[in-house]
Amino acid sequence: MNENLSRWRVFILRLGHRPERDKRITTHVFLVARAFGAHGAFYSGQRDKKVEESVRKVVKLWGGPFTLEFVENWVGKIKQWKKNGGEIIHLTMYGLPLNETIQKIRESNRDKLVIVGGAKVPKIVYELADWNVSITLQPHSEVGALSVFLHELYMGRELTKEFKDAKVKIIPQARGKKVMKN
Amino acid sequence: MNENLSRWRVFILRLGHRPERDKRITTHVFLVARAFGAHGAFYSGQRDKKVEESVRKVVKLWGGPFTLEFVENWVGKIKQWKKNGGEIIHLTMYGLPLNETIQKIRESNRDKLVIVGGAKVPKIVYELADWNVSITLQPHSEVGALSVFLHELYMGRELTKEFKDAKVKIIPQARGKKVMKN
């Protein structure tokens, strides 16, 4: 399978990054975004060059395309996305269940901006979102929510996605590790 | 739906926890385990009462059952699990693809111990595992891998799981938050 999984594009917007506290969670959000087929990510809060660096290292070694960009004015970014014809999906435990929403989201032709919160998500996010979607009605993890959302959005096709310009590639094994180098 | 999603039980074993570095990732692993239908978790490495406390708080407020236990001798735990008739599933980017393995795992009657690694996973884990399973062949996150694995294992039924003795419960909303208190 090539890198085109669908007719729309998916980007992630990670809100309110705090370098000390969120470093690893935010990195996992971006790596999950890339591994599960998103085209890139934006983040707000505080800029964190260490997180950017570790994501770029993964893209360089394991392939892309996957872009990462800090945005100061995240409300502006959301509004611009909608103005350009895209739709906004906010993942929140308070939203409508995945199984009631995913098919409509999948079938719309609009590019998708998937918002995952940091600490407390401002009310305006719920209002600007076209879809507030819950992945279980339980508290757990933005990383878990994003991975299951993308997995359902792509209906599992992301699991065998091929990445461009990868320097290394895994050959699946029942036991042990096998890595092919290009 | 009641809390019995299946005829087998699922526990997680999180390896090599380091309190400073892994605090939030390990917490997310446990919260994902609970939210996606696992019955409990074990962890090795260094004991971390803060992580235990935050998971117990979630169980107390949002319901259970979900147990959490530190194990010193994790190799002993794995061997005992197998001796008791259970099977071992190790989530690793080097393993066999999810779609080639999940059906057999789902259909076996054996209780499942799902291992997620910390830093470097010792070779013995690959050898003791009945299944080394990859969730994409890309580097990403143990939190993402576990959530998609459990989601596929339960075929999405975990999304509407009811928890016992929950003090609060979310009523899904298209916009905003609605929480019911018991």
- What average pLDDT score do residues B39-56 get? 98
The rounded radius of gyration (Å) of the Cα atoms in chain B is 16
Q: What are the residues whose beta carbons fall under 8 Å from the beta carbon of B82, sequence distance 6 or more?
A: B88, B128, B130
Give the model's pLDDT for residue B55.
98
Taking residues B89-100, what's their average pLDDT? 97
pLDDT, position B2: 41
Q: Residue A19: its chain B contacts at CB < 8 A?
A: none
Whether A3 shows a pLDDT value over 50: the answer reads no
Decide if pLDDT at B90 tops 70.
yes
User: Is A30 in a helix, a strand, or coil?
Assistant: helix
Which chain A residues are Cβ-neighbours of B156 within 8 angstroms? 99
| Chain-chain contact of A175 with B132 (C-beta, under 8 angstroms) | yes
**First-last CA distance in chain A:** 18
Whole-angstrom distance, CA of residue A133 vs CA of residue A152 = 12
What's the pLDDT at B3? 46
Q: What is the mean pLDDT of residues A60-68?
A: 98
A vs B, Cβ pairs < 8 A, gives 165
What is the three-state SS of A41-83?
EEEEECCCHHHHHHHHHHHHHHCECCEEEECCCHHHHHHHHHH
CB distance B32–A141 less than 8 Å?
A: yes
Strand order in the sheet with A131-134: A67-70, A40-45, A10-17, A112-116, A87-97, A131-134
Look over chain B and give the mean of its residue pLDDT values, rounded to a whole number.
Answer: 95
Residue A140 with chain B: CB contacts under 8 Å: 28, 31-32, 34-36, 147
Contact predicate B53/B81, CB 8 Å: no
